Amino acid sequence: MTIGILTLTLRLPDCHSLKEKRRLIKPIVARLHKEFNISVVEYGHQDVWQSSELLIACAASPGNHVENTLSNVVAFYECHWPDLPLIGEKIEIIA
């Protein structure tokens, strides 16, 4: 069993309140979970309006499947939410 963890750091340039931030992040979390059958949670920067950190976990038997899935998540995010740019991304594979 291989486990992959992806950390996405997002910039929310037009966000001016925590309520507005939640309105932007909630659909992203739901859509990523639905499209890829992965676990997604807002992990860091919870008290900051204009940035967010998402933690994404995926588990599978073949290790290359986990890495491919997480890479596809990054590409999917960049394609569907270009107005909320990625500041950073980090993939960790635990064998």
Reported as a pLDDT band with limits 50, 70 and 90, residue 49 is confident
Cα separations (Å) of 52 from 12, 56, 80?
7, 13, 17
Strands 51-60 and 86-94: unpaired
State the total domains in the chain: 1
Which of the pair, 44 or 82, is modelled with greater confidence?
82
Domain coverage including residue 47? 2-94
Backbone angles phi, psi at 33, to 5 degrees: -60, -45
Mean pLDDT of 20-36: 95
The CATH number given to whatever domain includes residue 65 is: 3.30.70.1120
Can you give the pLDDT at residue 47?
A: 86
pLDDT in tens, 58-71: 998 876 899 999 99
